[in-house]
């Protein structure tokens, strides 16, 4: 309910919109740190559609659920948007970047009749 009605980033859903919404709940597994040599190595280790990813660099932090992979053609594009979400340029990279992966178990509200 808070995401639909009280998220300061977006206007609250209207009654008409609420009637059309199907709720999906994602249960995240514990995050596992990814060890890598560089960004190319990190990207090669990611499993599109299966890995949720946490990006962290200093106070910059973001995450994408595994479902978000559907929006991007490549792992590099996925990572670029993840960095942008964290407030960094899409081409940013630093040896101090930390990445972690997690899996998701999800449930979706049944289709409305």
Q: Write out the two tokens for 65.
A: 């659920």
Helices (H), the chain: 2-5, 15-20, 39-45, 75-85
Instruction: Calculate the average pLDDT of the chain.
Output: 92
Euclidean distance between CA atoms 62 and 59, whole angstroms? 10
Predicted pLDDT of residue 111 = 54
CATH architecture of 24-108: 2-Layer Sandwich (3.30)
For residues 69-85, give the mean pLDDT: 96
Predicted pLDDT of residue 113 = 41
For residues 83-106, give the mean pLDDT: 97
φ, ψ for residue 88 (rounded to 5)? -120, 160
Helix (H/G/I), strand (E/B), else coil: 75: helix
Domain residues of the chain, as ranges? Answer: 24-108
Predicted pLDDT of residue 10 = 85
Is 69 within 8 Å of 79 (Cβ atoms)?
A: no
């Amino acid at each position: 309910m808070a995401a639909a009605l009280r998220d300061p980033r977006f206007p609250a859903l209207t009654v008409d919109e609420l009637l059309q919404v199907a709720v999906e709940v994602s249960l995240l597994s514990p995050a596992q740190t990814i060890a890598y040599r560089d960004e190319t190595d990190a990207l090669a280790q990611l499993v599109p559609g299966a890995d949720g990813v946490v990006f962290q660099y200093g106070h910059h932090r973001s995450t994408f659920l595994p479902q978000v992979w559907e929006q991007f053609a490549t792992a590099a594009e996925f990572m670029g948007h993840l960095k942008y979400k964290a407030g960094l340029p899409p081409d940013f990279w630093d040896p101090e970047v930390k990445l972690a992966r997690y899996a998701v178990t999800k449930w979706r509200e049944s289709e409305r009749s």
